[in-house]
Amino acid sequence: MRVIEPKIEFTPGVHMYHNDTLCLYDWRAQPWQKNWHLHQTIIPWMAEWLVFYELWLLTGKWLGKSAAHRKSSPDDFAPPANRIQN
């Protein structure tokens, strides 16, 4: 899943992939199940992700669940300066 507008570009502190898609769950820990429905999984997960994204913009900390994608440094978790609003 990807947010089209406004475009959310990859930032290491935001829990997403390098291709600007959102990381909604760890498929390695729990493979997709045939009986899962989009309205019960992906859509609520995306809504929750957007809440955590807004909190990240305010706090600079990702407060949602996350799975490691790669090694990161503390500087990776700061929001872009131009997105911080007082």
Reported as a single tens digit per residue, the pLDDT across 47-70 is: 999 999 999 999 999 998 877 765
Cβ contact 17:59 at 8 Å: no
**Domain-located, residue 41:** yes
Residues of the chain scoring pLDDT < 70: 69-86
Q: What angle do CA 61, 12, 57 make, to 5 degrees?
A: 40
Residues 6+ apart with CB under 8 A from 26: 67
Q: What is the pTM of this model?
A: 0.72
For the chain, the straight-line distance linking the first and the last C-alpha, in angstroms and rounded, comes to 29
In-domain check, residue 7? yes
Provide the number of structural domains found in the chain. Answer: 1
Q: Which residues contact 19 (CB under 8 A, 6 or more apart)?
A: 10
Residue 20's domain comprises: 1-80
